A and B are shown apart, each in its own frame.
Chain A
Amino acid sequence: MLAIEVENVARRYGRRWALAGVSFRAEAGSVVMIAGRNGSGKSTLLRVLSTAIRPDAGTARVAGFDVVREREDVRKATAILSHASYLYDALSARENLAVAARILGKKASVDGLLDRVGLLARSDDAVATYSAGMRKRLSFARVLLQDAKVVLLDEPYGQLDPEGFALVDEVVAELKSRGVTVVLATHQVEHVSELADQVVMLESGRLV
C-alpha cells in the first residue's frame, strides 16, 4: 500500500519555484531519505506533505488523503519535525508537551517521553533556557506524542550530539518496525542511506 504519492508537485515563493514538478511514491512502512543541497526544496516538500503549505500545482496524497482537499485527515495521520520548533518559549518542556497531549486527547503522562529524549531533569525549566539541541529533542518528543502513520523529519540530526544521533536512529528503526512511514530530509546522506529504503535527490526544486 502506498503511504505517499506525489505527482508533479510544484510550489513557488514569489517568482522562484522552490519545487518544480516533483514526483515520487513511498510504500507504507518504508524510510525515505530526501537529500539535496541547501535551498534544493527539501523542507518545502515536507511542508507540502504535512499540509503546512499548499502546492501551487500537482497533487499529493499522504496516508491515502489528498493534502489540499482532505487536510484535516492528513494532519491526523502525520507528524512533522520542522525547522521551526513549534514550542512556546515561556512554557516548560512538560507544559509544552501537555498542551499538545491535551489537544490530541491523550491522557498519559508526558514524563516517559521526556525521559526518552533525555530532558526529564530539565522538564520544568522554561524552553527559553534550552540550547538548540535540547529544543530539537523536545520537538522530537512532540512528534513521538502523535501516533502518526507518516512521520516527516526535517534535518532531525541537526544540532544533536552523538547521543541524540543514536536516539533518532533508534526511533526511526522503531517506527519502521511498527509500519510507520518515515520521511527524512537530511544532509547526513551517508549515515541515513543505511536506514533508507528509498532516496529522493532534489536539486533546485527538481528531482535528480
Chain B
Amino acid sequence: MLTALHKELLLQWRSRAQFLAVLVFGAAALLLFSFAIGPDAQALRTFSAGFLWLGLLLSSTLTLAESFHAEMENQALEGLLLLPANPRAIYYGKAIANWLQLALIGVSLVPVMVVLYDAGTTRIASLIGVILLGTAGLSAPGTLYGAMTAQIRSRQTLLPLLLFPLIVPALLASVKATSLVILGDPMGQSRSWILLLAAFDAIYWSLCGMMFGRVVDE
C-alpha cells in the first residue's frame, strides 16, 4: 500500500497544475454562490458551511474523475494487477492520495469562505478535523466509482450521477458539523454529527476496499 501511495503522490505532484485549476474552480464556485445570496451578511454566514461543501463536492468530481486517467492511459492498472499487486493495496493507496488532495483543497477554500461569507471561527482545529473526516467520506466511494467509470467516455457525467446519492449522508453530516463549528454549538450537537460522519467513513472505507478488486479485475 505504501508503494501505491508513493506512486500516487508522485503522479499528483507531477500534475500539480491540475490541482491549482481545481482549487481555482472551487474558489470560483464559492464566489458565485455568494452572489446568489447577495449582500445579506447574516444569510451568507448561515449558509457558508453548505456552500463550502458544495464547492468541495464539485471540485471533487474533477479530481476523482481524473485520478484514474494515468492508470488507463497505457493500461498501467492492469499491469500492476498482473504483477500481481494486491487490488486492495492499490485502492487504499489511491484513496488516501485522493483524500489528501481533497483535504488540501478543502483547507485551502476555508480562507476564501472566511473572506466571502464572513464565516470565521476560532475553532480551527475542529474545522480542519471536520474537513478531514468529510473529505475521507468523499474520497473512499469516489475512488471506487472513479475506477468503475474510468473506461467510459462520459465518465465526467456518470461519476457524479453515481457518487452523489451515495455520499448524501456523509455530506449532510459534514455540512451540519461545519455549520455548528462556524456558528456555534450551544446544544453540543456537533459531537453526534462528527460521530455519524466517522461511522459512514468507516463503512465506506471498508466496503469500497473490499469491492475494488471486483471492479477493476475481469
Contacts and interface: CB of A to CB of B under 8 A. Distances in A.
Contact of B14 (A82, A87, A90): A90
A80 B76 CA distance: 13
Given A72-B84, A90-B70, 20 more contacts: A52-B78, A52-B218, A54-B218, A75-B81, A75-B84, A76-B84, A85-B74, A86-B76, A86-B78, A86-B82, A87-B74, A87-B79, A88-B11, A88-B73, A89-B74, A90-B15, A91-B11, A103-B80, A104-B83, A142-B79
In the A-B complex, list the 9 residue pairs whose CB atoms are closest, starting with the nearest. A86-B79, A84-B75, A75-B84, A90-B14, A102-B3, A85-B74, A103-B85, A99-B7, A87-B74
A84 B79 contact: yes
Contacts of A126: 14
A87 B76 CA distance: 5
Contacts of A53: 218
Given A52-B218, A76-B84, A103-B83, A84 B14 contact: no
Interface of A: 50-54, 72, 75-76, 78, 80, 82, 84-91, 95, 99-100, 102-104, 126, 142, 146
B10 interface: yes
A51 B85 CA distance: 13
Contacts of A54: 218
Contacts of A95: 10
9 contacts: A52-B82, A75-B84, A78-B82, A82-B79, A86-B82, A95-B10, A99-B7, A100-B80, A100-B83
